[in-house]
């Protein structure tokens, strides 16, 4: 069992058509992560859906600051659907800056837009923007953020065009802080999870990951959010709506740490209560009840979780906030302006 349905617990971020929509106070009910033990005999191959996500999540829509009278041609405005991290939030060392526009940005306008999206950091570093679609662009440093870094994103879009007849009429500003360096490494074949804080190993725990036919994603995923309880159903993620199927489930499970929009979680499952020896899910990572509660209380949004040894491909960089799965050269391949040093301040 493993899967998704409505969500019970904290509100969190919700998905829209192009990425993560940060809608204040929104709660979504739909597909959510993984649960108990998967049947290897009835699954349909490694491309079957692992899970969809729904954890409900909170966020703030991007709000503009005051701007001068426009000097651009008349036309509809360039606006942001969202900026994440939220203003004044503290996030982990793998959290990219993620911006979603309300309308498409043309290829011809992307360099000017990137140059208008100015990143200031308390520690000098090099980073770059990466376009996941015509509406979503993320920024990350070449390596994980140093813990304690103060970051400001100044989206100085006033009078900047999107190449499709829209012009910026506002500037947007968010400041946030990089918190403790908490990194998690998961070995699928080794059935272990190791948690490091400030580079030192603080705990090793037994785990079970996805089955050979419903494998977990490989790659580095930043924690999206966490919820004390999530209801998970196989029907909502297209695994099975047939109650007689060995892959059918409808479970409410505790201590859920959300990793991908497609529904990957680290959590406890009643169908796999003593992990460390087998394959336990449709793609999630299972911990024991006590370990899952400990882990839930430790990690925060933006903390990196790196899964290795699975038969599945690397997670897409926009499946949640998995930008650090991409190599630096791959990241730069979808940047119009290329790598740039941050402004220090």
Residues making up the chain, counted from first to last? 345
What's the pLDDT at 43?
28
Q: Provide the mean pLDDT of the chain.
A: 83
**The 3-state secondary structure of 279-343, one letter per residue:** CCECCCEEECHHHHHHHHHHCCCCCEEEEECCCCCECCCCCCECHHHCCHHHHHCCCCCCCEECE
Single pTM value for the model: 0.83
Angstrom CA distances, 128 to 131, 251, 319, 331, 337, stand at: 10, 41, 19, 8, 8
Quickly state the pLDDT bin for 239 (edges 50, 70, 90): confident
Measured in whole angstroms, how far is the alpha carbon of residue 147 from the centre of its chain?
Answer: 19
Q: Which of 15-29, 63-77, 92-106, 279-293 has the least mean pLDDT? A: 15-29
Residue 275 has pLDDT above 90, yes or no: yes
Average pLDDT over every residue of 239-245 = 89
DSSP annotation string for 188-234: TTTTEEEEEETTEEEEEEE-B-B-SSSPPPBEEEE--EEEEEEEEES
What's the pLDDT at 246?
86
Helices (H), 60-141: 110-116
Residue 29 has pLDDT above 80, yes or no: no
Cβ-count burial 201-212 (b if 16+ within 10 Å, e if not): eeeebbbbbbbe
What's the pLDDT at 18?
22
pLDDT in tens, 46-92: 333 333 333 333 344 666 654 455 566 677 999 999 999 999 999 99
Q: Which of 10-19, 73-82, 143-152, 303-312 has the least mean pLDDT? A: 10-19
């Amino acid at each position: 069992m493993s899967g998704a349905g409505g969500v019970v617990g904290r509100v969190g971020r919700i998905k829209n058509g192009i990425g993560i929509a940060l809608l204040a106070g929104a709660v979504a009910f739909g597909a959510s992560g993984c649960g108990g033990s998967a049947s290897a005999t009835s699954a349909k191959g490694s491309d079957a859906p692992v899970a969809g996500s729904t954890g409900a999540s909170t966020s703030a829509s991007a709000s503009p600051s005051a701007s001068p009278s426009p000097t651009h041609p008349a036309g509809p405005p360039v606006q942001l659907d969202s900026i994440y991290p939220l203003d004044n939030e503290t996030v982990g060392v793998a959290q990219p800056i993620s911006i979603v526009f309300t309308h498409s940005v043309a290829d011809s306008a992307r360099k000017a837009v990137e140059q208008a999206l100015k990143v200031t950091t308390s520690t000098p570093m090099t980073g770059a923007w990466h376009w996941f679609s015509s509406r979503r662009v993320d920024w990350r440093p070449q390596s994980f953020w140093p813990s304690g870094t103060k970051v400001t994103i100044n989206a100085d879009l006033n009078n900047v065009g999107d190449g499709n007849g829209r012009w910026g009429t506002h500037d947007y500003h968010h400041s946030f802080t990089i918190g403790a360096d908490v990194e998690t490494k998961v070995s699928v074949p080794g059935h272990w999870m190791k948690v490091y804080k400030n580079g030192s190993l603080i705990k090793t725990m037994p785990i079970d990951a996805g089955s050979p036919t419903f494998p977990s994603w490989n790659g580095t995923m930043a924690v999206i959010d966490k919820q004390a309880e999530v209801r998970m159903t196989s029907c909502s993620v297209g695994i099975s709506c047939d109650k007689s199927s060995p892959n059918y489930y409808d479970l409410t499970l505790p201590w859920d740490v959300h990793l991908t929009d497609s529904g990957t979680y680290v959590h406890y499952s009643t169908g796999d209560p003593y992990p460390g020896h087998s394959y336990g899910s449709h793609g999630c990572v299972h911990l024991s009840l006590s370990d899952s509660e400990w882990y839930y209380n430790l990690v925060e949004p933006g903390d990196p979780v790196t899964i290795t040894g699975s038969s599945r491909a690397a997670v897409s960089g926009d499946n949640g906030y998995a930008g650090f799965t991409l190599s630096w050269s791959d990241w730069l391949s979808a940047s119009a302006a290329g790598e740039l040093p941050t402004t220090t301040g």
